[in-house]
Amino acid sequence: MSELLERIDRLNEIGIALSAENDTQKLLEIIMMGAKSLTQADGGSLYFLKDQMLSFEIISNDSLDIQMGGTSGNKIAFPPIPLKMDGLENHSNVVTHCVLSGETINIEDAYHEDGFDFAGTRDFDANTGYRTQSMLTFPLKDHEKEIIGVLQLINARDSITNEVIGFSPVEQQLAESLASQAAVALTQRRLISELETLFESFIKMIASAIDDKSPYTGGHCRRIPVLTMQLAEAVHSTHEGPLKEFKIDNKDRYELETAAWLHDCGKVVTPEYVMDKATKLETIYDRINVLETRIEVLLRDAEISYLRSLLDEDSKQTQGQLLESYENQCNQLKADLAFLQEVNIGGEFLSDSDILRTAEIAKREWQELSGKTRPLITQDELKNLSIQRGTLNSDERKVINNHIVATIKMLESLPFPRHLQNVPEFAGGHHEKMDGSGYPRGLKRDEMSVQARIMAIADIFEALTASDRPYKDGKKLSECLKIMGNMKIDQHIDPDIFDIFIKNKVYMNYAEEFLDPEQIDSINEKAIPGHF
């Protein structure tokens, strides 16, 4: 009775361990070791059922010092066992019969048991010198009574003499009780794993959809998680400076990577005409073509006026003077058109003098077929051509900036589990600046997590180096680091994280993987503004 109570206590301990373990391979080992301990078995095998096949997951034998599968690192070379052979149910094998019948099979001596084919067992014994005798095989059934696998135990031993004996009814009952708990634990772990896989696939699908939505940002949502995690690992491995206490475990990594994948999910609500605005005059189409047509009309009007002047006998100008005036007018119109075409492309900065020149050109007029005069450049066109940086005007900038508000709103509406509860904060802070001048919340450095500050640097560096933006080519690596160095000085990015970014050469690891070779130039880290 004392021994039985000890085994029941052991069964309870195993049950607690099963419910607490999240690693599937360790879970398998707990099941195997627990079953052997409860029944005092010398060995055993655990099988999973999949696609009408039983595959070996773990093999253990104390006498032969065999540990395969699980966390042992030793692969199992044995092929899976089919439930059917030549179209017929395979009842000749003990483990397959256990699945097909759903019953526990308790064999006292395999060498004196009829009805099963033990040729493989005898071959194993012959090759190893082992003697397989007693055998207890029972199905693993989940909460819906579906068989998910089989556990087979070999050679029960007498606790006093250590001799091989048969598995008693008590041991069978204990083993079946363990099997029930084990099956539930395995099913739970499998369901959790499947849900995690589904969740990860879903967030990657969202990221891919955002990238696919715009041909100009393709790959951005896939590159940010890589760079974010590279930088996070660099900060984690730092042993000096203000961030030496920052450490992350696997759960933290999973949370941060999830946030990185979702950091731009709000762009699903951003209109394509804003996301894909490749030039300043682009809406559904590029209105520079309309300007080109208007100037073409002015050129033709100038030609007509010139030809009429030649035919005018009362003209006070010579033909040479008329020709010179006509050519000057044409040259000016063509120069203005070339200037507007260049301005329309957008870039890092449009000077005040260029804005004034655009405004002067806008004062020109052209005449419609009806005879009504119209401004060469409308007020809306002038507003867009006067954009100093990039291609977005102030209204459009608000629209695209709103993507981060939408991101935060979307993520905060999701019931994230406890281990992912910081995802909205991590993802929602990548446009904030350390001096509080960022958006959407105007947070300062001390109000942001390290993870959010890491993601902010990753987002900026990816944007600067990206070669798939509509209004610019990917910059040289040295130019990107110079810009970010100035951002460090201006307190726009975290200075300590940026120092680690440079010191650990995270920029180069990323560049070698994602940048075009011509973008990677020589880097003098001491020349980077704000060099540590």
Are residue 240 and residue 296 in the same domain, yes or no? no
Read off the CATH number of the domain in which 429 is found.
1.10.3210.10
Rounded to two decimals, the pTM is 0.67
Dump pLDDT digits (tens) for 492-502: 999 999 999 99
Read off the CATH number of the domain in which 18 is found.
3.30.450.40
Are residue 148 and residue 38 in the same domain, yes or no? yes
**Beta strand extents in 401-478 (DSSP E only):** none
Spatial distance between the Cα atoms of 319 and 377, rounded to a whole number of angstroms: 32
Last residue of a domain, one of 388, 421, 441: 388
pLDDT for residue 488 is more than 90: yes
* Number of domains comprising the chain: 3
How far does the chain reach from its first CA to its final CA, in angstroms? 72
pLDDT for residue 313 is more than 80: no
| Least-confidence region, from 50-64, 151-165, 213-227, 447-461 | 213-227
Are residue 153 and residue 266 in the same domain, yes or no? no
Are residue 322 and residue 226 in the same domain, yes or no? no
Are residue 366 and residue 422 in the same domain, yes or no? no
Domain that holds residue 489: 214-274+395-527
Long-range contacts of 441-445 (CB under 8 A, 24+ apart): 445/491, 445/494
Does the CA dihedral 84-86-91-96 come out positive or negative? negative
If one counts every other C-beta atom within 10 angstroms of the C-beta of residue 345, the result is 14
Spatial distance between the Cα atoms of 222 and 225, rounded to a whole number of angstroms: 6
Instruction: Please give the single-letter amino acid code of residue 427.
Output: A
The answer to whether residue 206 sits within a structural domain is: no
Last residue of a domain, one of 364, 388, 412: 388
Are residue 379 and residue 440 in the same domain, yes or no? no
Last residue of a domain, one of 388, 420, 445: 388
Dump pLDDT digits (tens) for 409-429: 999 999 999 999 999 999 999
The answer to whether residue 202 sits within a structural domain is: no
Average pLDDT over residues 238-262: 94
Spatial distance between the Cα atoms of 76 and 72, rounded to a whole number of angstroms: 10
The answer to whether residue 296 sits within a structural domain is: yes
Does the CA dihedral 336-338-340-343 come out positive or negative? negative
The answer to whether residue 157 sits within a structural domain is: yes
Tokens of 302: 């100038």
Are residue 360 and residue 501 in the same domain, yes or no? no
Q: Please say whether the beta carbons of 494 and 457 come within 8 A.
A: yes
